[in-house]
Amino acid sequence: MPPEMILLAALDGLAYGSLIFLVAVGLSLIFGVLGVLNVAHGSFYAIGAYVAASAVLAAAGMGLPTWLAFPLFLISAVLVGVVVGGTVEALLLRRIYGKEEVLQLLVTFAVFMILEDAQKVVFGTQPLFANAPMNWLGTVEVFGIFYTSYQLILIPLVALVVLLGLRWFLRRTSFGRAIIAVTQDREAAMAMGIDATRIYLFTFIIGASLAALGGALSSATTSLTPGIGSGMIVLSFAVAATAGLGRIEGAAVAALMIGLGRSAAVYFAPEFDVLIPYLIMVVVLLIKPEGLFTTVQTRKV
């Protein structure tokens, strides 16, 4: 087994796992606070990718410098989170909080299907690709192997910043502690004067924005076609279930495990590349049904 192949598999796994983490951590955050398994989360990823790619291509068409693509990624993610995510939460999801899980799944799946068709109407069905930001960052050499700086450095760095930023926000800020209070006991938190409705809306926007950010970053590395959100939401559920639903730090480890496992399969057993992420999830859940990082004493967030 050539060492170069092992290194390439590890680098690909790091980049892929970091991208999955950005989407899965938003899913885990939403479930941990709102208690909703949001199937529509994959649509936020897809819409974020399409909006970012469209913005980058429009900027290039106007002759603007390529580096503007990176703030456009962030702006696109926030825009999708606020407009699409905020609208879905305010008009629909807050009506099903506390209802049966089956109803929540059916409602969010219906939202997913509606948003899937909306993407086709707005962005069309032709493939969309905006790789200029990735090419602009160039490549780096790792032990004689050249790899794109975008995938090797930028995406994992963004994932690390998101992880540390969420930890700091939830544990060190008053609003973050209010989120944790609502997660632990909504009635007691409301009795202390915390606006649970505002907390739910803000949390959902953060989760949707993180999914859209993952999509925005992926728009420079892959061709966008209808249906990209469905594959990502299934992988995100696999990460969340492996880590333990609602576990933010655990989502990072689980995403890395699944990213490395899938990448190793692509290089050494391509026929199993689709199977490996779910095989990892099944093995973990057989050993520890509540997920790797969930215990009776730990918080959901």
Report all structural domains of the chain as residue ranges with CATH numbers, in order of start.
3-287 (1.10.3470)
Q: What is the pLDDT of residue 294?
A: 65
Q: What is the pLDDT of residue 299?
A: 47
| 122-162 pLDDT tens trace | 988 888 888 889 999 888 887 777 888 998 899 999 999 99
In the predicted structure, residue 184 carries a pLDDT above the cut 90: no
Among 96, 113, 110, which residue's Cα sits nearest to residue 36? 96
CA torsion 237-72-155-157 (nearest 10°) is: -110
How sure is the predictor about 297, in pLDDT bands with cuts at 50, 70 and 90? very low
Q: What is the pLDDT of residue 185?
A: 75
**How much of the chain, in percent, has pLDDT values that exceed 70?**
96
Which residues have CB under 8 Å from 251's CB, separation 6+? 21, 24, 25, 28, 239, 240, 243
| 213-246 pLDDT tens trace | 999 999 998 888 888 888 888 888 888 888 876 6
Q: What is the pLDDT of residue 296?
A: 46
In the predicted structure, residue 57 carries a pLDDT above the cut 80: yes
User: Hey, which residues does 141 pair with through a beta bridge?
Assistant: 146
- For residue 231, give both structure tokens: 């594959």
The residue count for the chain: 301
Q: The whole model's pTM is what?
A: 0.90
| 67-105 pLDDT tens trace | 999 999 999 999 999 999 999 999 988 888 878 888 888
How sure is the predictor about 300, in pLDDT bands with cuts at 50, 70 and 90? very low
Average of per-residue pLDDT across 34-60: 91
How sure is the predictor about 197, in pLDDT bands with cuts at 50, 70 and 90? confident
Among 211, 213, 208, which residue's Cα sits nearest to residue 73? 213
Mean pLDDT of the chain: 86
The CA distance from 253 to 285, in Å, is 15
